[in-house]
C-alpha cells in the first residue's frame, strides 16, 4: 500500500487508485489526453520527416538511397537508447519532465537538419532527435493511462498512439505542399519549430500523474492539485492513499522480469521488435520504393499518408475491440490480417498503372499493421503497475526501436531485390509478432466483466 501520510480518522481519505480507475472520464482528464496527443502527433511527424525528404535530398546531393541507411539507422539507435532512458526518467523524475524534455530535444534536433549539408550531419542530428523521439512515447503513454478510468484506458491509450500515424498524415500533407514549392529544408524547419512550441505549452498546462506524485512522497498540495483533475474537488484537508497497487521494487529493468512478469515481458519485447521493424521499413523506404517505380514525389508522399490514415482507423477500431473482446483476440486478428495484406502486396506488380490498387492496399495494411502496433502499447500499459509502468512501456518500446535500426538496412537491402522482397520481409515480421503476442500470458480480458491481471 502506498500512502502520503498516516491515515487520520478525523480527516477524509481519498483513495487515488480507486478514484483514478473508477471515476468519471471528465473534461479535465480528456484534456490530459489532448495535450499528450499533441506531443505524440509531433513525434509521428518528426519520425517520418526524413523518409519524406530522402528522395529530394538524393537528387540535390547526387547520392544513392543506400547512402542514407546509416542516417536512418543512427536515428533508430537514438530512439533505442532514448526509449528506455525516457521510461526510467518518467518513473524516477516524473512523466511530465520526461515528456517535455523529449519533445523539446527532438524538435531542436529536427530543426538542425534544415541546415545540414551532408549525410554525416544529418546522421548526427537524427541521432539526437532519436533520443527525444524515443523518450516521449513511454512518458505520454503512462500519463494517459494514469489519468484515464480503467474501463476507458485501452481506448484512451489507443487514441494517444493513433496520433503517431496522424503525425505521419500531417507530415505527408506538409511534404506534398512544401517539397515542390520550398524544398526539403523548409520541411525540417516546420517540423522542428512545432515541437518546441508544444514543449512550452506542456510546461504550463500539463499536470503530473497523481499516482506518481503519491508514490514518490510529493508535497500533499501538489498531489491535491493533480487529484482535482481526477474529479475530486474537496482535497484541502484530505489524506491520500492508493490501495490498488502492490508495491514492487524500484523501477529497473530487473523489476520487469520478476516471476509474474517474465513471460509477458519477453513476449512483449519480441512483439514490439518485429512489429516496429516493418512499420519503420515502410515509413523510411516506401516513398523511395514508389518513386523508383515511376510515382512522383507528391504521389509517393500521399501514399504514405494513406498508410497512416488507415492506421488511424485501425488504432481506433482495435481500441474498441480490446474493450469488447480483450487484448489477445483483438491483437491477433489485426496482426494476422497485416500478414495476409503484406503477402498480397508482395504478389502485386507496382507501377503507375496499378496505382489506385496499391494506394488502397497500403491504406488497408496501415489499418492492420498500425492497429497492431498501437495495441501493443495498450497491452503494456495494462500489464505494468504504476511504479514501473513508464519503465515497462519504455523498455518494450526500446527493444522495438532496435527493430527499427534493423529496418534501415533491411529496407535498403530489400529494395535491391524489388517490391516482392520488400513486402515479403514485412509479412515475415508481422507473422512473428502474431506468435509473440500469442505467448504473452497476461492479457486484458473483455471489459464486459471485471478485467483481471491473472493469466488468460
Query: pLDDT in tens for each of the 456 residues of the chain?
Result: 344 444 455 566 777 777 777 777 888 888 989 999 999 999 988 888 888 888 888 888 988 877 887 888 888 889 888 888 888 888 788 889 999 999 999 999 999 999 998 999 999 999 999 999 988 988 898 888 888 887 787 778 888 888 887 888 788 888 888 888 898 999 999 999 999 999 999 999 998 888 778 777 767 777 778 778 877 666 556 676 766 654 545 556 677 877 778 888 999 999 999 999 999 888 878 888 888 888 887 788 788 888 988 988 998 898 888 888 888 999 999 999 999 999 999 998 888 888 889 999 999 999 999 999 888 988 888 888 767 777 888 888 888 878 877 887 888 788 888 889 899 999 999 999 999 999 988 887 776 544 444 444
DSSP string, 214-266: HHTT--HHHHHHHHHHTT----TTPEEEE-SSPP-SSSSSGGGGSTTTHHHHH
CA distance 66 to 56: 14
Residues 103, 101: Cα–Cα separation, whole Å:
6
For the chain, percent helix, then strand, then coil, each to nearest 5? 80, 0, 20
Confidence (pLDDT) at 367: 95
Q: Which pLDDT value is given to residue 450? A: 44
The residue to which cell 516493418 is assigned: 278
CA distance 20 to 231: 9
The pLDDT score that the predictor gives to residue 455 is 42
DSSP 448: T
SS3 category, 24: coil
Distance CA 328, CA 138 (A): 22
**What distance in Å separates the CA atoms of residue 233 and residue 29, rounded to the nearest whole number?**
14
Give the CA angle between residues 449, 327, 137 to the nearest 5°.
120
Domains, the chain: 2-439 (1.20.1250.20)
CB atoms within 10 A of CB 262: 12
Between the alpha carbon of residue 256 and those of residues 101, 211, 265, 396, the distances in Å are: 25, 19, 7, 10
Angle at 364 between CA 447 and CA 317, to 5 degrees: 15
Phi and psi angles of residue 13, each rounded to the nearest 5 degrees, phi first: -105, 130
Task: Specify burial of residue 126 (Cβ count, 10 A radius: 0-12, 13-18, 19+).
Answer: buried
3-state secondary structure of 154: helix
Please tell me the predicted confidence (pLDDT) of residue 16: 73
d(CA 194, CA 234): 38
How far apart, in whole angstroms, are the C-alpha atoms of residue 153 and residue 164? 18
**Cα 1 to the chain's mean position, in Å?**
31
Across the beta sheet with 239-242, what order do the strands follow? Answer: 2-3, 239-242, 13-15
b/e code 419-445 from CB counts within 10 Å (16+ = b)? beebbbbbbbbbbbbbebbeebebbbb
pLDDT of residue 434: 96
- 196 burial class (0-12, 13-18, 19+ CB within 10 angstroms)? middle
Amino acid at each position: 500500500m502506498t500512502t502520503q501520510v498516516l491515515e487520520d480518522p478525523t480527516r477524509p481519505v481519498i483513495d487515488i487508485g480507486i478514484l483514478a480507475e473508477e471515476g468519471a472520464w471528465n473534461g479535465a482528464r480528456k484534456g490530459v489526453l489532448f495535450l499528450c496527443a499533441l506531443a505524440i502527433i509531433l513525434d509521428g511527424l518528426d519520425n517520418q520527416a526524413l523518409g519524406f525528404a530522402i528522395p529530394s535530398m538524393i537528387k540535390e546531393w547526387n547520392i544513392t538511397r543506400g547512402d542514407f541507411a546509416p542516417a536512418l539507422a543512427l536515428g533508430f539507435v537514438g530512439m533505442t537508447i532514448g526509449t528506455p532512458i525516457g521510461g526510467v526518467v518518467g518513473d524516477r523524475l516524473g512523466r511530465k519532465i520526461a515528456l517535455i524534455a523529449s519533445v523539446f530535444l527532438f524538435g531542436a534536433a529536427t530543426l538542425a537538419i534544415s541546415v545540414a549539408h551532408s549525410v554525416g550531419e544529418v546522421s548526427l542530428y537524427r541521432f539526437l532527435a532519436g533520443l527525444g523521439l524515443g523518450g516521449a512515447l513511454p512518458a505520454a503513454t503512462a500519463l494517459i493511462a494514469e489519468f484515464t478510468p480503467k474501463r476507458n484506458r485501452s481506448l484512451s491509450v489507443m487514441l494517444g498512439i493513433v496520433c503517431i500515424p496522424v503525425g505521419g498524415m500531417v507530415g505527408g500533407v506538409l511534404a506534398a505542399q512544401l517539397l515542390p514549392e520550398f524544398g526539403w529544408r523548409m520541411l525540417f524547419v516546420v517540423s522542428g519549430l512545432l515541437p518546441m512550441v508544444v514543449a512550452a505549452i506542456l510546461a504550463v498546462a500539463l499536470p503530473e500523474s497523481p499516482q506518481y506524485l503519491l508514490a514518490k512522497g510529493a508535497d500533499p498540495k501538489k498531489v491535491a492539485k493533480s487529484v482535482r483533475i481526477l474529479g475530486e474537488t474537496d482535497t484541502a484537508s484530505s489524506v491520500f492513499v492508493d490501495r490498488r497497487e502492490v508495491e514492487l521494487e524500484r523501477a529497473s529493468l530487473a523489476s520487469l522480469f520478476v516471476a509474474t512478469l517474465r513471460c509477458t515481458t519477453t513476449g512483449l519485447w519480441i512483439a514490439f521488435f518485429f512489429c516496429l521493424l516493418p512499420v519503420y521499413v515502410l515509413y523510411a523506404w516506401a516513398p523511395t520504393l514508389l518513386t523508383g517505380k515511376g510515382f512522383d514525389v507528391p504521389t509517393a508522399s500521399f501514399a504514405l499518408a494513406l498508410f497512416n490514415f488507415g492506421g488511424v482507423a485501425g488504432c481506433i477500431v482495435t481500441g474498441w475491440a480490446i474493450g469488447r473482446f480483450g487484448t489477445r483476440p483483438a491483437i491477433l486478428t489485426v496482426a494476422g490480417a497485416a500478414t495476409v495484406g503484406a503477402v498480397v502486396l508482395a504478389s502485386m506488380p507496382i507501377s503507375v498503372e496499378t496505382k489506385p490498387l496499391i494506394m488502397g492496399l497500403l491504406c488497408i495494411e496501415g489499418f492492420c499493421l498500425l492497429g497492431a502496433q498501437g495495441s501493443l502499447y495498450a497491452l503494456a500499459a495494462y500489464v505494468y503497475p504504476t511504479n514501473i509502468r513508464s519503465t515497462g512501456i519504455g523498455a518494450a518500446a526500446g527493444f522495438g526501436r532496435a527493430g527499427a535500426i534493423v529496418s534501415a538496412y533491411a529496407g535498403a537491402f530489400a529494395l535491391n531485390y524489388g517490391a516482392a522482397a520488400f513486402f515479403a520481409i514485412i509479412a515475415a515480421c508481422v507473422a512473428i509478432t502474431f506468435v509473440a503476442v500469442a505467448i504473452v500470458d497476461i492479457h486484458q480480458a473483455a471489459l464486459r466483466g471485471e478485467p483481471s491481471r491473472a493469466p488468460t
